[in-house]
Amino acid sequence: MSFELSPLPYADTALEPAVSAHTLSFHHGKHHKAYVDKMNAAIDGTDLAEKSLEEVVAAARGSNQGLFNNAAQTWNHAFYWHSMAADGGAPEGDLAAKIDETFGSLDAFKEEFANRGVGHFASGWVWLAEKDGKLSIEETHDGDTLADSGFNPLLTIDVWEHAYYLDHQNARPAYLKAVIDGKLNWAFAAENLARGTTWTY
């Protein structure tokens, strides 16, 4: 059995102008697909081919960096596609209360989330996560993931240059602002918080 490239949960124009169809054609159709294909090639014929993606990530962590990178990036990108929506809405209920309690306000969260993404050195991911009922902003470098971390990730943004260079060139702040201001999928974050366990591929 091999893993499928998870489809985009919206039309390829849904995230414009923050993330264009042109970017998605490369980011989903080339980059994400390559991670899936390389992972599948690495696990083909092994016991890992029968495991869940989360189990593959955990098994490869610390023991097989090449497989880990491709498996973690397969997971991270699927989670990232779901972390955005055409009309992201706003946090409500328990999630809104926790945002206010942790960051002071939604605007303060947005500013801190953007700042962490802007300040993240080189390639990686910035996350809104939950652990033991507490929210926090986390960062992972390169292909590293929260999939097997003990955190319950609620949202993520890819800050690799391939996520924004075609649309915003080197202006990572403009990309982050555009995503954070209108395209964060707060309904997805609320589902993840309510479930209380890590999203599965």
Of all residues in the shown chain, the one whose CB is closest to Mn ion is 158
Mind spelling out the 3-state secondary structure of 44-88?
A: CCCHHHHCCHHHHHHHHCCCCHHHHHHHHHHHHHHHHHHCECCCC
Taking the least distance from each CB to Mn ion, the nearer of 68 and 160 is 160
Shortest distance, CB of residue 162 to Mn ion, whole angstroms?
Answer: 5
CB nearer to Mn ion: pick between 160 and 175 = 160
CA neighbor of 156 nearest in space, from 101, 75, 100: 75
In sequence order, the β-bridge partners of residue 136 are 129
What is the total count of residues that contact Mn ion (CB under 5 A)?
2
When the beta carbons of 144 and 158 are compared against Mn ion, the nearer one is 158
- Taking the complex as a whole, the smallest distance from the CB of residue 160 to Mn ion amounts, in Å, to 5
Tell me how far, at minimum, the Cβ of 153 lies from Mn ion, in Å. 15
With contact defined as beta carbons under 8 Å apart, do 158 and 125 qualify?
A: yes
Query: CB of residue 47 vs Mn ion: minimum separation in angstroms?
Result: 28
* CB nearer Mn ion, residue 103 or residue 175: 175
Q: Please, which of residues 137-166 interact with Mn ion by CB under 5 A?
A: 158, 160
Residue 129: strand, helix, or coil: strand
Contacts of 103 (CB under 8 A, 6+ apart): 109, 112, 135
Task: Look at residues 34, 70, 94 and name the one whose alpha carbon lies nearest to residue 147.
Answer: 70
The pair of structure tokens assigned to 118 is 């802007």
Query: Cβ of residue 113: shortest distance to Mn ion, in angstroms?
Result: 18
Q: How far apart are CA 56 and CA 77, in angstroms?
A: 16
CB nearer Mn ion, residue 103 or residue 140:
140
- Residues at the site binding Mn ion, with contacts judged by CB under 5 A: 158, 160
